[in-house]
Structure 1
Amino acid sequence: MNENRPTPTRLALLLASIALPVALVLAALVAAGELSVHAALLGGAAIVLVLGLFGVKLLQDLWSIIAYAGTLSQLPPSAESPPPPSLRLAPEELRAVVRRLERGRAIARERLQAQAAAEQALLDELPDAILIVGGDRRLLRANRRARALFGNTIDGRDIAMAIRHPAILEAVDATAAGHKDSLSFELSLPGSVKREFMAYVRRLPDADAGGAAAVIALHDLTSVKRAEQMRADFVANVSHELRTPLSTIIGFVETLRGPARDDATARERFLSIMDEQSARMARLIEDLLSLSQIELVEHETPSTPVDICDTIRTVIKMLEVTAAEKAMPLETDFETGLPPVRGDNDQLVEVFQNLIENAIKYGEKETPVTITVRREGSRIAAAVTNRGEPIAREHLPRLTERFYRVDNARSRRLGGTGLGLAIVKHIVNRHRGSLAIDSGAEQGTVFTVYFPAR
């Protein structure tokens, strides 16, 4: 600070204040004959010089302390304190002042950090994603839920880099500028699984360009929206898929009550068909319920470590008898030392049960079903391969659609519901993985699922 530096005028005043009493004492000694004029002049000059040098250094120390105190008063509480001034001749009392300034600043900073930690802990317990934005659009703070959505490195970034949605940007600008006190609207955020939110943006009191200007709260509507969509899909799909077996059963019941009432042979044949159609409806309902449950939690990534190879071994034991009926050995080739994946073991069992069971159903008799597990970069790849009639290329992109069948008659004859691969797709999506399908006369049909390695 320039006003605290020693200036020629201040130095002249300091020297004058030192020289005046010295000159009076020496003049008295000369008048009393105790000291010659020459000696008095030399002695006075020496005394003034020594005292002046000492006084200048002491004054510099004092001005350094004043400048240090001024700097501390202008810093925001959260900023790092500058190093204390280097004092040369200041007495202990002045040095104690500097230490008290430092300690007071440290205590204030500790209190502020404790308050910020308490506020952050409170924000982290909220179920909604909370983001606090400055007047320059930069993110100042986010709670645990927001970091789970947008990453742990969002502090200090422009809101446009974290939430790529124009409605959010417009709402932040409008509230930060004071045009609106609050806004609310629904929005969708893209990703491996699309998510639906109700967004609330509110201007903070005393907002300014340098501090917190607005708060964003995102209430997750994904489960609600999925439930609504699932209800609609469930009604449409069930009414379509159950119509045929129900019509068959109703027709046979009417026949058994009428023309075939006393025909034992027809009765046994009709009852057998009715039993088959009832079992088909039971499988369909079971798969629909399973799919609905998976979709309901698809946006929630599982976190339990799972050994994929152990999971597949469990499925193989379940299907050994089925494979033996067609003389199809289940061969495995697992890479050793693979890390676990984060997953839901029950759902992963369902994935590989569907894939291996399909490989047995649609594979040629007396040909092997091969299951391989490999690490590919940061992913674990598990592939199920069978030998059978290849699937035409135009069908591959649609195989995971609900109720899509390459051959309807064959699928129904083999007991398929048309939902198995849809279930696989949604479980893999929940695990933030991917599904690849390839088919050809040479390599056979290969279903490969990729999961992020833990």
Structure 2
Amino acid sequence: MTENKLFRKLTWNIFKRIALLQILALIVASAFALILIRSKIKEVAATQVVEQAFYKIQTHLNYNELEADSFCDVLDSKLSFIAIMKGSFKKVCIADYLQSHEISDIMYGHQKLSLKESKVLYNKRINIKSLYHQSVLTIDGIEYSVFLLFKPHYVIEFLLKTNKSILLYIFPILFLSVLLSLYTSIKVASPLKSILSKIISFSDSYKQNNILSDINNQVQSEWEIIEKNIDDNEYKKRKLQKTLVKENNKFQALLDAISDSIIAVDNEGKILFANNAFINDFNVKGMISSEAHYLDFIRNIKLKSFIDGAIEEGQSSFSSEFTIDFSPNRIKDYYVKTNPLKDNKGRTYATVCVLHDLTELKVAQKMREDFVTNVSHEIRTPLTAIKGYVQTLEAIMPDLDEAKKEIMGTINHNCDRLTQLFNDVLSLSMIENIVDIQLTQVDLKELTEQCLRDVSQIHSRSTANVKTSYQADHIISNDKMLEHIITNLVSNAFRYGGANIEIQVNWSEDQNSNYLTVKDNGVGIEAKHLPRLFERFYRVDKSRTRDSSGQKGTGLGLAIVKHVVNKLGGKISVDSTLGVGTTFKIELPKRQLV
């Protein structure tokens, strides 16, 4: 049986049970109400008969004596028997239509009455019902016990009349109540079906089959199924709560174990969570409330703009460096990276900010930069002096033999090589410490041609042929850093490509990036060397340490290119085949001038 048929069957069963119970309850309630109403009506009718009899007796006594024979004239078709007693005095009036055996039964009924009570009693022996009444009557200030007997036909006739009226009112009310109960049953059955449907949809396939089987076989009622599943869900909820608390504790422990400051803010800037490093770094007092805003703790206009921009963008990761002044004596540098938090529908509801403390690293970098600058200066100064003395000796002693000239040349060459090495080390150190890159619009053709002229002058003895092509005219970048890239890549091609090679320099672009390709058809590089090609001082082999002009490389050129490309936010790749040539490709993202 399909699920829809089962639910229709279930709805019909629920409707039948609820409707039947309500209708039975209505019938029972109506019968009980009818009995109460008839009893009340009978009591009212009996009271009315008794009051009329007492009124007739009182009226008669106003004009006649109690002992007079005329007192018994108060008897009529309703009132059959009167007995007034006080001590030894007794006045009895008996209707003529009473039989002798009925009189004895009257006294039998009298014994079942208490004072001031009216009751219709059934006499089994004479097969008749009579209304008995016993009360107190005050005559001339004297209280007498009065016992009255009435024929009940008046009460019975009154009940018969009222029964028709009662039924005329009860049946329409009962009919409307039945209709209302049917409507209520439908209204109750429909939500139960919806509740069971949701319970099934929340259950796994095994449990779904069990529930459907119970419904089909009527093993359990729908209420039992609902109760059982509510209990199961309550157990699962408690278990899930424990798991969530455990996972939350693990997550918080993981956050607190990270030395970087971490904070998450929602789209309104309110703090969702933060780790101990953030609390300690930013001097947070006490617990962070759920209504706390990140600006309560981070008071830096540039960092505020950065975080607000990340929240507004909501789709990408951003990173930058900032200096935060906590106090005149406490200034820290941070590398800040943001990442969006998304829900299961891919919508960003919060942003995570990771603040990596660069203060000690900056100090170390400054010390290294100063050291490299000082060492380079201190070494280049004596190197310049040595080279000057060599050139002086060559000038004042022009008739030196070949052996001495070779020694002088070697000294001069190594001075140049050491100078170039320290120049490269200094350049690499300066590039690594660049924070703010000055961007301008660069004419690619003009810059490239200038670099090629400089390189060609250095490698004037080379027979390489350089070709250029430009599918892009301009780029928003730093001209000095681009000059480092072009010069080093083309110099490498000149230096290690071999004789009579062709070097191709090409600029191109697409919607998002600019591309520089430097390709040669030289000797190529073995694949095993490519992963380490951009390491400092790494050389492929000793045979490649000297270029075609006889000069040795420093092993820093490609490392400088790699660092410059990274600073510009780009990527560099190399492809090379022995005997075919080498191709370097650089991708630089397009930027806009601010």
More strand by share: 2
Structure number with bigger Rg: 2
Structure of greater relative contact order (alpha carbons < 8 Å, 6+ residues apart): 1
TM-score, reference length from structure 1: 0.48
TM-score, reference length from structure 2: 0.37
